[in-house]
Amino acid sequence: MIQNQITPEKPLKGKVALVAGATRGAGRGIATELGAAGATVYVTGRTTRAQRSEYDLPQTIEETAELVTQAGGQGIPIQVDHLVPEEVKRLVDRIELEQGRLDILVNDIWGGEFLAEWNKPIWEHSLDKGLRMLRLAIDTHLITSHFALPLLIRNQGGLLLEITDGTAEYNRNNYRLSVFYDLAKSAVIRIAWAQAQELKSFGGTAVALTPGWMRSEIMLAHFGVTEATWQDALEKEPHFVISETPRYIGRAVVALAADPNVHQWNGKSTSSGELAKEYGFTDIDGSQPDAWRYIVEVQEAGKPADATGYR
């Protein structure tokens, strides 16, 4: 059993986290930052060094686990398809056996980047792709919570993060260019709110959390750049100037998990940019991108790209 010893340098030392959907993107950034804060982090996904998922991308859960350990925590990779209840149950049973506790659950399972057909009405959008997107975005989160939350609530102060795209306010007022995508991302916010009602009597907290315009591996590849050369993408999309690394949302998760008063966020929808202002952390370049405010006040207002005052 891990001893729960908290230090300022490692505020999550002794804590056990599960980052469901940690192969790449936000999940990898979150897992890495949890490791830097001293946590033991179980990282799950479908792609391993021996087998790739339908994405057919090179990133693996083993790589993510190694990043967690290199950052200062303990990374434990487990291949899991979160649509398969039996696999999720085995995962949680293993965490219980090995650790006896679960302090942080991050539901970051997604898998729908290549399924959305943008600016197509529902009658033209592929029904198979749309329904598959909903299963990957919603069913996976519900299945994982079903099995993991009994272990999370065993100790007071358990934290559940539901990772989505967009805040409740933004998604309420804006169509996300696909009925299926719109529903997928808005539903996760409602799932967080509903679970908050169930967790509060057990001393638990559930929060919906979104990154801004994140420089994931898939997004960088879309623009044909790397993290080192990301600013070259501004020639194609000037508003990419507000983008952030996956480590930024990871630092948002750590800030919440280390806050003894985290229950003030129960049931709320927030973003990496909002939490950076609240807790004072930065992205790895020292900036504090506030993407959702920028998107509304600059990009969608038709103004020239300029992140001054927004990062």
- CA–CA dist 11, 34 (Å, integer): 9
* CA 51 to chain CA centroid, nearest Å: 23
Give the largest Cα separation in the chain, rounded: 55
CA nearest neighbour of 138 among 119, 163, 117: 163
For residue 215, the surrounding DSSP H or E stretch is: none
Single out the residue of 85, 81, 53, 71 nearest to residue 17, CA to CA.
71
Using CA atoms, how far apart are residues 275 and 288, in angstroms rounded to an integer? 10
Phi, psi for 11 (deg, rounded to 5): -65, -15
Give me the catalytic one of 42, 55, 170, 181.
181
Catalytic-residue membership of 42? no
Give the strand pairing for 74-79 and 269-271.
Answer: unpaired
List helix spans (H) across 104-160.
Answer: 127-134, 140-152
Residues involved in catalysis: 181
